[in-house]
């Protein structure tokens, strides 16, 4: 794994910020701004409206990272931090994009185990 990939993965998973700008998201995912906009238009990545404009949430960045790089690469990049951040990321990732898109409304109480609500996602 190259140094840039390692840095990008660590910034995606370990940032304390709840969301990032489109340009930052594209840069960290290693895609162009136009590719990011296309993924948002397709619904692959769900953008959120904030006081600072439309942004990409940390959860969506993690989901995109998990589609971009194999889990073994992510774990290697995270090192000892993988134990702390990977179980939660894998847990909500299993819901699928429909649930992640409405996560704040219907999934925010879920922290693992079975789904507390009857949902199709």
The fraction of the chain above a pLDDT of 90, given in percent, is: 60
Gap between the Cα atoms of 99 and 107, Å rounded: 7
Residue 107's pLDDT is what?
42
Instruction: Check: CB of residue 110 under 8 Å from CB of residue 92.
Output: yes
Q: How does pLDDT run across 92-111, given as a tens digit for each residue?
A: 444 455 454 444 434 444 34
Enclosing H/E stretch for 104: helix 103-106
**And the tokens for 83?**
């134990």
pTM to 2 decimals? 0.71
The fraction of the chain above a pLDDT of 70, given in percent, is: 71
Q: Residue 89: which pLDDT band, with cuts at 50, 70 and 90?
A: low
Paired sense of beta strands 53-57 and 19-20, if any: antiparallel
Most distant CA atoms of the chain, gap in Å: 43
Instruction: Check: CB of residue 75 under 8 Å from CB of residue 13.
Output: no
- Region of 43 (left: φ > 0; alpha: ψ -120 to 50; beta: rest) is left
Helices (H), 43-102: 58-68, 71-78, 82-93, 97-101
The domains found in the chain, sorted by start residue, are 3-103 (1.10.1660)
CA distances from 70 to 5, 8, 53 (A): 12, 14, 31
């Amino acid at each position: 794994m190259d140094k840039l990939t390692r840095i990008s993965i660590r910034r995606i998973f370990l940032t304390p910020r709840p969301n990032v700008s489109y340009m930052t998201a594209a840069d960290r995912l290693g895609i162009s701004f136009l590719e990011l906009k296309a993924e948002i238009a397709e619904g692959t990545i769900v953008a959120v409206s904030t006081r600072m404009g439309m942004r990409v949430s940390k959860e969506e960045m993690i989901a995109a990272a998990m589609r971009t790089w194999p889990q073994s690469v992510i774990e290697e990049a995270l090192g000892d931090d993988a134990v702390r951040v990977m179980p939660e990321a894998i847990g909500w990732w299993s819901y699928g994009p429909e649930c992640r898109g409405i996560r704040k409304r219907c999934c925010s109480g879920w922290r693992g185990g079975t789904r507390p609500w009857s949902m199709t996602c």
